[in-house]
Amino acid sequence: MLPKIFNWTGNSIAALLLLLMAFLPCSEMAGRLFFGYSTIGVADFLQHLTLWVGLLGAVLAARDNKHLRIAGDFTFLPKFLRVFAEHWTSFLSAAVCWSLCGAGIELITAESPGISESFRHLIPGFIENWLEPFGLFELGNTLKVGGLIPIWIAESIMPLGFGLMALLFITTFPNKSIWSKIIIALSLPCVILLSIIYPEAPSGFALIGIIILIVSAALGAPIFVFIGGAALLLFWSDGVTTSAIPVEMYRIVVSPVFPTIPLFTLAGFILSESNASERFIRVFQSLFGWFPGGVAVAVTMLCAFFTTFTGASGITILALGGLLLPVLLSSGADEKFSIGLLTATGSIGLLFPPSLVVILYAVIAKISILDLFKAGILPGILLVLPVCMMCLWKGRKKLGNSEITPFKTDALIKSIWLAKWELLIPVVALVGIFGGFCTIVEAAALTVLYSLVVEVLIYRDLGIKKLFALLVKCSVLVGGVLIVLGVAMGLTNYLVDAQVPAKAAQWVIQQSWSKWEFLIALNIALLLAGCLMDIYSALIIVVPLILPISALFGINPVHLGIIFIVNLQIGYLTPPVGMNLFLSAFRFNKPLMRIALYVLPFLLLFFLVLILITYVPWISIGIMELFK
């Protein structure tokens, strides 16, 4: 266990930076709209704050064992295999983090032209790389963040963050045996010795290493360790400096639109940790609870709303599952249907504004975020509508009149009045964006600030302690996501440099596929990607590979984006490794395959909608053109 002072310090810094990310854009927007001035450097500071929040959050995730993983709990394995898996995945995680730390140091060293070459030659390269950021050499880079802070200070969080994560994989290892910690601590000398003995990777080593990484991911290694380790091996095998990984991480995280990810995630956390969900369910129950299956419809609408803010990471399942399952059961729904519904709707709102997944795809594909949101309106409705129809069918067939309560106008008005401030939250964001009053980043920050005012000052659901805990939890989630995106961007950079997209496009041409055959193959490939990867790393890695190929068939990149997101959403529910299945099994304390069985009817509905969206482009493109 770490001393309390370190835990408190890390939590406090992460929470403070997250709040600062919300207040900076709001102050910039207020100055521009009401006082006619813009503060120089705010956007630059905000983008680099995203980098710091992401890395600090990743450190906290390593401390709390909250990094995203493909594999679940292996309690069914023999004890000696579980012990081996725990030691090996921790050792490998620490080794990859030490290597990424060294790559980050190499990046800072490369931006230090003030060091004389003669002085460099006196010190072995690997020692120079490790000592450089600690002020032992002159740092000559003159670039500054916002014109004030040297760029190398902003970048220093990358080697520092990875180094701290490596230490945490050692010190927080669950086995208290000192020998266990010594074994994992050997990861550092192993990395150093390997870099000395093999300046260039032995032939075939990269392939063996990637196979080991795949097995390790199956044993429970974090996703970022698998992707980051693969990127390190591939760059090393090609004789390319591994500093390309932190370079790409820096490039994607400090992009202008990227701060929306932590900001909208924070807004979702504020709502899920307050009593907002209870007020929303009263509104939806008043609207739909007067007919059979109406409560299930209300739950579907509520989950869709929360998923737009929290993304596809299963936060909706974890945050609302415990609240909504008793509501469904008390309405007369059986456990099988109720758990299946809550699991399926945990990612059902991904196409609606202000979905983080839509924003990320638009950034990677370099298309208009607003166009993609417009294109997602009808497909999003088509995903929600069949679930609602199933709820109604289930209600009439099995529930009878047990859940029917008479429709009462006064109850509806009362529930809307009670939740009026929260019902305006989407309006605040959308009016700001589509009305041209603010950028999408400012709209995200405004949503956070408005949510804070509503939940802390108006409803008073969040006290100081609860708000602080919420900020820490949000930082952990953001860090777990952004670290995956960062290392995935490094892997993508390698794939692009190796001309993998061009070679893949050439292979597709040789197959003489029609457009429709390609779309079938694309759906199958994306479903597999959604099963095996989290949606964020899948976007970063797969989108650059698919875009050039789809262009050969004349597929609109906006239409491709809708197909992509719907596929990955379904992949989250596809056995055996769909991530939402794991989260639901954890939340409802049920075997994973039983959860998969509960979800199966909803999964079949989503497949039908996917086919419709794929082969009728007007559903997305037509609506986008209509609103232009």
At residue 140 the predicted structure's pLDDT band, cuts being 50, 70 and 90, is very low
Alpha helices in 111-204 (DSSP H): 117-120, 125-131, 151-155, 157-171, 178-185, 187-197
pTM: 0.77
CB 564 within 8 A of CB 605: no
Report DSSP state, residue 150. Answer: E
Contacts of 535 (CB under 8 A, 6+ apart): 311, 312, 313, 357, 568, 569, 571, 572
Which of 163-167, 204-208, 310-314, 439-443 reaches the highest mean pLDDT?
163-167
Which DSSP string corresponds to 469-497? HHHHHHHHHHHHHHHHHHHHHHHHHHHHH
Provide the 10 A C-beta neighbour count for residue 330: 11
| Secondary structure of 499-543 as H, E, C letters | CHHHHHHHHHHHCCCCHHHHHHHHHHHHHHHHHHCCHHHHHHHHH
pLDDT at 132: 52
CB 260 within 8 A of CB 165: no
Question: Average pLDDT, stretch 491-501?
Answer: 77
Asked whether residue 468 carries a pLDDT value surpassing 90, the answer given is: yes
pLDDT in tens, 389-405: 888 888 776 644 444 56
In sequence order, the β-bridge partners of residue 144 are 150
Give the separation between CA 602 and CA 336, rounded to whole angstroms. 12
pLDDT at 137: 46
Instruction: Report CA-CA distances (Å) from 445 to 29, 96, 433, 452, 476.
Output: 10, 34, 12, 11, 19
**Which percentage of the chain shows pLDDT scores above 90?**
14
pLDDT at 268: 79
Asked whether residue 1 carries a pLDDT value surpassing 70, the answer given is: no
Asked whether residue 220 carries a pLDDT value surpassing 60, the answer given is: yes
Tokens standing for residue 54: 């992401």
pLDDT in tens, 598-618: 888 998 999 999 999 999 889
Longest Cα separation, the chain: 86
Question: Average pLDDT, stretch 249-278?
Answer: 81
| 400 vs 28 pLDDT, higher one | 28
pLDDT at 332: 76
Nearest one of 274, 276, 282 to 299, comparing CA atoms: 282
| 236 vs 140 pLDDT, higher one | 236
CB 134 within 8 A of CB 159: no
pLDDT at 97: 94
| 211 vs 526 pLDDT, higher one | 211
Quick check: bond before 354 cis, omega within 30?
A: yes
Asked whether residue 130 carries a pLDDT value surpassing 70, the answer given is: no
Give the separation between CA 456 and CA 554, rounded to whole angstroms. 50
**Which percentage of the chain shows pLDDT scores above 70?**
86
pLDDT at 134: 43
pLDDT at 129: 57
Which of 64-73, 560-569, 590-599 reaches the highest mean pLDDT?
560-569
Contacts of 434 (CB under 8 A, 6+ apart): 370
Nearest one of 263, 275, 269, 322 to 421, comparing CA atoms: 275
pLDDT at 538: 78
In sequence order, the β-bridge partners of residue 145 are 149
Asked whether residue 350 carries a pLDDT value surpassing 60, the answer given is: yes
Instruction: Report CA-CA distances (Å) from 55 to 62, 160, 475, 532.
Output: 11, 9, 9, 24
How buried is residue 607: exposed, middle or buried, by Cβ count under 10 Å (0-12/13-18/19+)?
middle
Provide the 10 A C-beta neighbour count for residue 352: 21
CB 11 within 8 A of CB 476: no
Asked whether residue 227 carries a pLDDT value surpassing 70, the answer given is: yes
